[in-house]
Amino acid sequence: MLPIIDSHAHMDFPEFDNDRDSLFEQMHRVGIKQLLIPAVSPDKWKKQIEIAKQYGCYYSLGIHPWSCEGVTPKDMRNLRALLERHKDDASLVAVGECGLDKLHKGNFVTQIELFRSQISLAKEFDLPLIMHAVKAHDEILKCLKTESPSRKGVVHGFYGGPQLARQYVNLGYKLGIGGQLLNDNAPKLQQTVVDLPLESFVLETDSPSMAPKSSRNNRNTPLILPNIIEKMADLQKKSAVLISEQMFFNVTQLFDL
């Protein structure tokens, strides 16, 4: 069986400081052999890269829309310098997470500015984008139509229906499917997984957030990935092995792993 890869897990977050070792051990035991730690804000880059190195994970560099407040031109210069410094590091595989979130709209103008700068960085360093997209799909699609990086990227934590999904897929982007798929109140997302070809998706958990409703302590970990694979298999009427293989192929292709 091919290894399972979590394309989006914040394993550097303090929520995992107490049991990170044991979690990685448990993951390995169930076939989750790799994961990608996405960046969120300048003050977290250092620890993020350290954890990625310590556990042999892939990582991305960027600024999350929630962290746009207070980002200075110096932070953006530092981001560029870090990308430059790590550009020959095979573990650095994307720019992000970046994007737009209208539920945090106070700084929406800054969000657009920083999103566009990060699209430019993805082009400059020839990396794909990891995007956070909440209630701002029109704006994001508009940016991607005019200034898409050639390696494209992924809309992580995708929760929309087939029509929206197709707009991203038609532009060459993938959709990150996570624990929300396991919730009974996600019919739109489930329909997306039924309708779109398997090539459209990559697996993710967004740990430690986005815990499925069934989870006990409201903390999410990559250990739910086999459940997501089972659910996809169920929805697509295919075997879990086939889903797992296709997800491995998609993520390795997208990030050139």
Residues that bind Zn ion (CB under 5 A): 206
Containing H/E element for 158? none
Query: How far is 246 from 14, CA to CA, in rounded Å?
Result: 32
Least spacing, CB of residue 88 vs Zn ion, in Å: 25
**To 5 degrees, how large is the angle CA 12–CA 127–CA 161?**
80
Tokens of residue 61, six digits: 């560099």
Three-class SS state of 221: coil
Least spacing, CB of residue 103 vs Zn ion, in Å: 14
Least spacing, CB of residue 41 vs Zn ion, in Å: 11
CB of 131 or CB of 144, closer to Zn ion: 131
CB of 67 or CB of 236, closer to Zn ion: 67
Least spacing, CB of residue 251 vs Zn ion, in Å: 15
CB of 212 or CB of 236, closer to Zn ion: 212
CB of 236 or CB of 251, closer to Zn ion: 251
Tokens of residue 14, six digits: 């303090």
Least spacing, CB of residue 232 vs Zn ion, in Å: 20
Residue nearest to Zn ion (CB): 206
Is there a cis peptide before residue 208, judged by omega within 30 degrees of 0? yes
Query: How far is 102 from 100, CA to CA, in rounded Å?
Result: 7
Least spacing, CB of residue 242 vs Zn ion, in Å: 27
CB of 6 or CB of 206, closer to Zn ion: 206
Three-class SS state of 33: strand
Q: For 158, phi and psi rounded to 5 degrees? A: -65, 135
CB of 148 or CB of 209, closer to Zn ion: 209
Q: Which distant-in-sequence residues (6+ apart) come within 8 Å of 211 by Cβ?
A: 179, 218, 219, 220
Containing H/E element for 163? helix 162-170
